[in-house]
Amino acid sequence: MPQFWLMKSEPNCFSFDDLLRSPERTSPWDGVRNYQARNFLRDEIHVGDGVLFYHSNVPAPAIVGVAKVVRAGYPDHTARDPDSDHFDPRATVDNPIWYMVDVQALMAFPQPVSRETMKAHPLLSDMAVLKRGNRLSVLPVDPRHWPVLFELGGISPARINELLISTGGEDDSSR
C-alpha cells in the first residue's frame, strides 16, 4: 500500500515549479539534516509513495502539488560536498549519515490547499504539519486526510491514483 508523505520546501529555495521544470520532472530531495526525517527517507519511504509538496516560510503556506517517489532512500552526497550548504564533515562513503529520495512531480493542485484552509477544516485540523512548533520537513500523512486534501486541491482521488500508477515518462500525466 502506497503511503503519502508531506514534504516541506521553501519555494524561494526549491519550489514545486522548480520540480516541474527539472529533467523528467524529477529531482533528489536532498539536504534533509534531521534524524527523524532521515529515518523516514532511509527506511520508510518507498517507490510509488505519494508526496504532497508543501511550501513553507512564505506569507501563505500551502500544499501546492502532488509528486511521487521514484527512487527509494540512498546516500545524500551533498553531505560530502564541502561546497554544499548541507555539508557534514562526518559523512563518509561507508557511513553517509544522511539520505535522500528522488521525487517526480505529477501535477500542481489546481487549487492549492492553504495552511489556513487546513486549520479551519474539521477533518484536517489535527494534521501533524499544523501542530505548533512542528519542524519536521518530511511527515507521514494520515490516510483519512488524503481524499479530503485531494478534493480541496481540485483533483479527484481516482485521478491521483491514475497518476501514481502511470510510469510517468514523457506521457500526458501532467496535463
Residues in the site for DNA, rule: CB under 7 A?
A: 8, 10, 33-36, 56-59, 61, 115-116, 119, 129, 131-137
Instruction: For residue 68, give the DSSP letter.
Output: E
Nearer to DNA, 3 or 56 (CB): 56
Q: 146-153 vs 157-165: helix axis angle to the nearest 10?
A: 100
Pick 153 or 168: Cβ nearer DNA: 153
What's the distance, Cα to Cα, between the start and end of the chain in Å? Answer: 26
Nearer to DNA, 45 or 164 (CB): 45
Report the alpha-carbon distance of residue 33 to residue 87 in Å, rounded.
10
Q: Name the residue nearer to DNA (CB basis): 56 or 84.
A: 56
- The CB-of-134 to DNA minimum distance in angstroms stands at 6
Minimum CB–partner distance for residue 3 and DNA (Å):
19
Strand partners, 100: 74
Nearest approach, Cβ of residue 23 and DNA (Å): 25
Q: Which three cell numbers stand for residue 4?
A: 503519502
> Considering the complex, what minimum distance in angstroms separates the CB of residue 137 from DNA?
5
Q: CA-to-CA distance for 173 and 175, rounded, in angstroms?
A: 6
State which amino acid sits at residue 142.
Answer: D
